Amino acid sequence: MNHSGWLDKSGIPDDVGSIVTVGTFDGVHRGHWTILREISQRAHGTDRRSVLVTFDPHPLRVVRPGSAPRLLTTSMEKKEIFAESGLDYAVFITFNEMLSRYPPRRFVKEILVDRLHVEELVIGHDHGFGRDRSGNVDTLREIGAELGFLVDVVAPVEAGGGVVSSSRIRAAVEAGQMDEAELCLGRPYSIRGIVVCGEERGRKLGFPTANLSVPDQDKLIPPPGIYAVQGRVQDRTYSGALHLGPRPTFEGFSPSIEVHLLRLLDFLTGVKRVDPL
């Protein structure tokens, strides 16, 4: 799969049409996967390409910063997930003030039609786009009829008696309900961190921990507590425990993210991802 920016379409050949989906895809949850599989299957065996269009930063970070949610998946995490989806291309559009003022038709014409040569657009049931989210499914169907592409809507996916959505998963993570989050995501919730130097007090006590710094400050972190985790180091997985919040034993420290991986006492650098179970 390839990645491209919307102002640099050199990575997306324009010799054939595309089957496209558009959205924020925060979490890339089970409902999103239904859409990704749909466009991949439609493109498979034809000369058309499957293309996902998403945004960075989250549109609300620009339009209403005070209402912008913490992210279930950062852009880097999305790219890793999309790489396993079977998509041909993932286009990350830089969302800015200018783009936020695009009316629905301009967005569709300039990006989906002129740049991506959309022939079919597959979207979720609650899709909204354009200035003030003034565009919806009916708007897209009207524009599609005018500009010559089909619009299909994927039905919502349910799990545990309710519709799967990014907002439902955020609420679960914020409450520390990691089983609920995993049910809707289709995988454990994960945190990517860079190992940083700590005080090494855990090592002196016989329980060395990796102190993690999360680069993206918009990433949603579960509430303070101790979680069973799977930590990945150089493509190997280790069971362990993760502590979120102030260190319970020592005073005078700010909130932290620490992970202790079993059977990995001396080599803790390079931890890339931690999946709370």
pLDDT of residue 198: 57
Please report the domains of the chain, with CATH numbers, ordered by start residue.
2-159 (3.40.50.620), 194-276 (2.40.30.30)
- State mean pLDDT over 131-150: 88
pLDDT of residue 92: 94
The C-alpha atoms of residue 191 and residue 213 are separated, in whole angstroms, by 10
pLDDT of residue 59: 94
* Lowest-pLDDT range of 13-27, 178-192, 193-207, 235-249: 193-207
- State mean pLDDT over 41-66: 94
pLDDT of residue 265: 46
In the chain, DSSP assigns E strands to 2-5, 18-22, 49-56, 89-94, 118-124, 150-154, 158-159, 162-163, 194-196, 210-213, 225-233, 236-245, 256-261, 271-276
63 three-state secondary structure: helix
- State mean pLDDT over 22-48: 95
pLDDT of residue 251: 47
Higher pLDDT, 169 or 125: 169
Contacts of 67 (CB under 8 A, 6+ apart): 60
The C-alpha atoms of residue 225 and residue 179 are separated, in whole angstroms, by 15
Contact 193, 240 (CB under 8 A): no
* Lowest-pLDDT range of 84-98, 111-125, 139-153, 220-234: 220-234
pLDDT of residue 237: 85
Give the angle subtended at the CA of 129 by the CAs of 124 and 135, to the nearest 5°: 95
Q: Shortest CA distance to 209 belongs to which of 272, 262, 277? A: 262
pLDDT of residue 57: 95
Kindly report, residue by residue over 98-136, the tens digit of the pLDDT: 999 999 999 999 999 999 999 999 999 888 776 666 678
Kindly report, residue by residue over 204-214, the tens digit of the pLDDT: 445 567 788 88
pLDDT bucket at 200, cuts 50 / 70 / 90: low
Question: What residues form DSSP beta bridges with 196?
Answer: 211
- State mean pLDDT over 224-235: 86
Q: What is the mean pLDDT of the chain?
A: 85
Rounded to two decimals, the pTM is 0.86
pLDDT bucket at 153, cuts 50 / 70 / 90: very high
Higher pLDDT, 69 or 7: 69
pLDDT bucket at 174, cuts 50 / 70 / 90: very high
pLDDT bucket at 273, cuts 50 / 70 / 90: low
* Lowest-pLDDT range of 25-39, 87-101, 102-116, 186-200: 186-200
pLDDT bucket at 3, cuts 50 / 70 / 90: low
